[in-house]
Structure 1
Amino acid sequence: MLWILLAWGSINIQAQTLRKSSVNKRKARTSIAKNHSKKSSHKKLSQPKLKSKVKTVAHSTLTIGIAKDGLLRADSLFKSGQHNMAFPLYLDYKDTPLMKASSLKNLAICFKETGDFLNAQKYFKRVYLYDSDPDSATELGKLHLSGVSEIPKNALLAKDYFEMAYRVGNLEAGFQLGRLYWFGANQIEANFPKALDILTDVGQKGHTEAQWMLANLYTKGTPNTPKNLPEAKKWYRLYNQSISLKNTLISNN
Structure 2
Amino acid sequence: MLWILLAWGSINIQAQNLRPSSVHKRKARPSISKNQPKKSFHKKTSHLKPKRKVMALARPTYPNKMTKEGLEKADSLFKTGQHIKAFPLYLDYKDTPLMKASSLKNLAICFKETGDFLNAQRYFKRAYSYDSDPESATELGKIHLSGISSIPKNALLAKDYFEMAYRMGNLEAGFQLGRLYWFGTNQIETNLPRALDILTDVGQKGNFEAQWMLANLYTKGSPVTPKNLSEAKKWYRLYNQSISSKNLTLVNN
Q: TM-score range by the shorter chain?
A: 0.7 to 0.9
Provide Cα deviations, 1:70-121, integer angstroms capped at 9, x if missing partner. 1111111100000011001100110011111111110000001111000000
Tell me the distance in 1 between the aligned counterparts of 2:169 and 2:101.
19
TM-score (norm 1): 0.74
**Are positions 1:166 and 2:166 aligned together?**
yes
Q: Which residue in the other structure is 1:51 paired with?
A: none
C-alpha distance in structure 1 between counterparts of 2:221 and 2:246, whole Å: 29
In 2, distance between residues paired with 1:116 and 1:193? Answer: 37
Report what 2:106 is aligned to: 106
Moved more, 215-224 or 196-205: 215-224
2: CA distance between counterparts of 1:148 and 1:164?
A: 21
Per-residue displacement from partner, 1:178-206 (whole Å, max 9, x unpaired)?
00000001210000000000000000000
CA distance in 2, matches of 1:66, 1:93: 7
> How far apart in 1 are the matches of 2:235 and 2:110?
33
Q: TM-score, normalised by structure 2?
A: 0.74
**In structure 2, what is the equivalent of residue 80 of structure 1?**
80
Alignment partners' CA distance in 2, 1:128 and 1:245: 28
Q: Distance in 1 between matches of 2:191 and 2:210?
A: 16
Separation of aligned partners in 2, 1:65 and 1:84: 19
Letter in 1 for 2:128: Y
SS in 1 for 2:248: helix
Q: How does 1:100-179 map to 2 (within 5 A)?
A: 100-179=100-179
Q: Which consecutive aligned stretches of 4+ in structure 1 deviate over 6 angstroms post-superposition? A: none
- Aligned partners of 1:194 and 1:122: how far apart in 2? 31
8 Å CA contact retained: 2:178, 2:196: yes
Tell me how far apart the structure 1 counterparts of residues 215 and 191 of structure 2 sit (CA, whole Å). Answer: 19
Q: CA deviation at 1:251?
A: 1.9
Higher percent of residues as helix:
1
Question: Letter of the aligned partner of 1:226 in structure 2?
Answer: P
CA displacement at 1:65 relative to structure 2: 7.2
Secondary structure of the residue aligned to 2:140 is: helix
Match of 1:196 in 2: 196
Q: Alpha-carbon deviation of 1:214?
A: 0.4
DSSP 3-state at the match of 2:67: helix
Q: Aligned equivalents of 2:251 and 2:145: distance in 1?
A: 33
Q: Which amino acid aligns with 1:183?
A: F
State the alpha-carbon separation in 2 of the partners of residues 64 and 227 from structure 1. 64
Unaligned runs of 5+ in 1: 1-56
Q: Structure 2, unaligned stretches of length 5 or more? A: 1-57
- Percentage of matched positions with identical amino acids: 81
User: Could you tell me how far apart the structure 2 residues matched to 1:136 and 1:223 are?
Assistant: 34
Root-mean-square deviation (CA), in Å? 1.7
